[in-house]
Amino acid sequence: MRAAAQADLFGAVDPVLPPGIALFRGRIPLAESRVLLDDMLTVFAAAPPYRLRMKTGAYVINQLTNCGELGWHSDSQGYRYVDRHPEQGTPWPAIPPRVKAAAIAAARECGVADFDPDACLVNLYAAEGKLNLHQDHDEADFAWPIVSFSFGNDGVFALGGAKRRDPVQGVTLHHGDVMVLHGPGRMLFHGVKKIVPGTAPFQHSAIPANGRLNLTLRRAT
Ligand code: MD6
Ligand code: FE
């Protein structure tokens, strides 16, 4: 159930991850990752990536979009799940079946047999992209896991504890890695400290130049 410390291709050893954080290194083979990213181009055609605005009116650095019945969005009314693209006014496109199947399989390996994600948030990071420490708490039932896919350049993931002030450890997420936050790991604080340009195995038009693409599949309802 618990991911053990694992050596990557370069012999670097991950810090031991807490219970409820499973990290499947290189889970998506390179050839399959190209196909999944091609699927994302179809998603982007129906639901173009957009930027959230802060209260000040300034735009947040990352772009995002969604697929699935529901998509995560934030505006003056707060953080929530909505059933359509806020700028296009159209329903979100379906989660690509290959992506959904990979998420369900990873959840199953964490002991969750009946995960049925209805929302997939797509986060697009430019080279300067980052994501502040947060908990994902807009879902109806925290018993369901969140399954995360990383593509493109490495992202240094910040993994904290149950409280915002708890110590944070850095975990570098590579292209093709799949991470699951489940059970006691589901509500741990986390974020993305930085992107490491020059580490992607290939360029793909679904991924910002020198950037990273992250998918998180959830059960929102
Ligand atoms: C990212 N991930 O990796 C941001 N949230 O770019 C998340 O915020 C995240 O990886 C919930 C569960 C897994 C995650
Ligand atoms: Fe998150």
- Name the β-bridge partners of 149: 178, 215
Cβ-count burial 70-85 (b if 16+ within 10 Å, e if not): bbbbbeeeeeebbeeb
The pLDDT, as a whole number, for residue 7 is 61
Contact (Cβ atoms closer than 8 angstroms) between residue 76 and residue 55: yes
What is the phi-psi region of residue 78: left when phi exceeds 0, alpha when psi lies from -120 to 50, beta otherwise? left
Ordered structural domains, the chain, with CATH: 21-218 (2.60.120.590)
- Which residue type occupies 141? D
Identify the DSSP state of 204.
-
The pLDDT, as a whole number, for residue 9 is 62
The pLDDT, as a whole number, for residue 1 is 41
Return the ligand number nearest the Cα of 148: 1
pLDDT tens profile 198-216: 999 999 999 999 999 999 9
The pLDDT, as a whole number, for residue 48 is 98
Tell how far the Cα of 76 is from the centroid of ligand 1, in angstroms. Answer: 23
Tell how far the Cα of 91 is from the centroid of ligand 1, in angstroms. Answer: 23
Chain-centre distance for alpha carbon 82: 18
| Alpha carbon distance 159, 157 (integer Å) | 6
CB distance 155 to ligand 1 below 6 Å: yes
Which portions of the chain are predicted below pLDDT 50?
1-4
**Whole-model pTM over 0.85:** yes
Tell how far the Cα of 191 is from the centroid of ligand 1, in angstroms. Answer: 7
The pLDDT, as a whole number, for residue 3 is 46
